[in-house]
Structure 1
């Protein structure tokens, strides 16, 4: 009888132990499912946050995109336009840097600087053609007068000197040595050019001198025979 009771007790313990094990497994399963559900929810929330952030950035960029694409213009066209503008800005920057570099340069010996050019006044006299050739050999040309300020600067040399103006190709059609026709301003002395005036022997005055010895600065041009000897002024644009 005692053995039978002990056997029943043991079986009852085993049943209770199995029930406890089932309960534990059930709790663990529920806990695992709950944990997985929490991870999924967290990942979903992170994805939603990322989506919201991207959407916000897209909405912020959209007005800029619309401006750049000029109300519907194709992106490639906008890219091309921006490329052209970039290249233009780069060119302007390079030009400014070049001019800045020039400003820092020192004139060679015998030259004077005024604004963006260097000027050379000869110490000897020659005809107009030979004078121009000398300038060309110096990497310059006979001076081209572009403004009253430049005219007054040249006047300060106080010499009767050739400038780069002639009508040797077509009588009366005055042109500078770079081919630019003379329009305005011009700085002829009173009654000039006169192509030699009333004296037929002088009627071949196709070159221009700057007469700084007797005339006023802004009215100091005079036409002369190109064969006469004068000082000359070279100009090098730098």
Structure 2
């Protein structure tokens, strides 16, 4: 600080006043007018007071600002503390929920483990069941193969029986011819024997010879009788074997009656599939036999006039020569006169049991298979 300033403050402090700024110490020392000096110090003091007042106001304002800042900082502190407490609560709740979720996940994991074990057990059971099914399938396949082999064997047996039957029929015909020839020879020999006895009653040797011949012929007749009985037994066995398959034998043909009703055309196709055809009746004996097959049922005949109305023909193409129509039949009745197929009706007289009917009606079917 300069000397002037120091002097200025010294003088003013001594006099309890302040001289005006810019007054030198010489002016003060030489100035004898105390009133003027005192007046200058008073003016300077007022200015200094104003400066202090402004400074005090500034300090007061500064304190207010600081106080406001402190209050704001306190409020912010409280808010931060509140947020901190809220975050702490949320963190605690999150930890609790996380622990609960962890427990749930563990429980779920245990449940999934149990379900996995159950699924593995079910898979093992399914594998065992599948193995059993495969074994049953193989067993069924073996049974099917055995049934097929048995069917083939039965078909072969039937074929062999048919062949044997044909051979037996030929043999029977030969035996019948031989028997007829033997009977003719026997008659001739008997006549010759009578002549010899008549002519040569006294010739004993010739008589004995004729007796010997007669004895031989008797033995041959007995042998033929035994052969015939044997053939009849074989015929009975053949009929039994055929009846096992639903067929019945009569005079070199086999017959079968269906178990369901069909129209005439479907019935014929049914017979053709069995290598047969609808029944064709050629004799009175066959008519009686066929009538006995139908029991209390009605059945189609292989007879129709579809090609030429009123001209009845069998399915083998032969014309109708011997018929067993009911009285007043055939009358071509029905709708629009379409009774074009022959049917045998039960309950009527055996030799008067034929009727004409519409071919699309349903009735049982008699199939005939010729073995000749």
Question: Where on the TM-score scale, by shorter chain, does this alignment land: which range?
Answer: 0.5 to 0.7
* TM-score, length-scaled by structure 1: 0.55
SS at match of 2:356: strand
List per-residue Cα deviations over 1:58-79 (Å, max 9, x = no partner). Answer: xxxxxxxxxxxxxxxxxxxxxx
Task: State the match for 2:169 in structure 1.
Answer: 99
Residue 135 of structure 1: CA displacement?
Answer: 0.2
Q: Which residue does the alignment assign to 1:208?
A: 342
Selected match of 2:319 from 177, 181, 201? 181
Q: Distance in 2 between matches of 1:228 and 1:153?
A: 24
Q: Which has the higher strand share?
A: 1
After superposition, what is the alpha-carbon deviation per residue over 1:70-116, rounded to whole angstroms, capped at 9, x for unaligned? xxxxxxxxxxxxxxxxxxxxxxxxx9736358957431511111121
Asked if 1:191 is matched to 2:261, the reply is: no
Q: Distance in 2 between matches of 1:167 and 1:237?
A: 23
What residue is the counterpart of 2:362 in the other structure? 229
> For 1:137 and 1:96, how far apart are their aligned partners in 2?
23
- 2: CA distance, partners of 1:147 / 1:202: 33
Larger radius of gyration: 2
The residue aligned with 1:68 is: none
Offset from partner CA, 1:181-221 (integer Å, 9 cap, x none): 102x210010000000xx6x251000010001x21111100
SS of corresponding position for 1:149:
helix
Measure the CA separation in 1 of the matches of 2:166 and 2:368: 21
Match of 2:266 in 1: 130
Distance 2:330 2:300 in 1: 14
Displacement of 1:160 after TM fit? Answer: 0.4
| Structure 1: runs of 5+ lacking an equivalent | 1-94
1:149 match: 285
| Secondary structure of 1:131's aligned partner | helix
Q: Deviations over 1:122-164 (max 9, x none)?
A: 0000000000000000000000001111111111122200010
CA distance in 2, matches of 1:176, 1:237: 15
The match for 1:161 is 299
| 1:217 aligned onto 2:350 | yes
1:119–1:96: structure 2 CA closer, same or farther, 3 Å change rule?
closer
Gaps of 5+ in 2: 1-164, 172-233
Task: Give the TM-score, by structure 2 length.
Answer: 0.36
Higher relative contact order (CA 8 A, sep 6+): 1
Contact 1:202 1:225 in 2 (8 A): no
For 1:222 and 1:133, locate their aligned partners in 2 and report how far apart those are by CA, in whole Å: 21
Count matched residues: 140
In 1, the alpha carbon distance for the partners of 2:166 and 2:265 equals: 35
Aligned to 1:113: 249
**Pairing 1:69-88 to 2, within 5 Å after superposition:** none
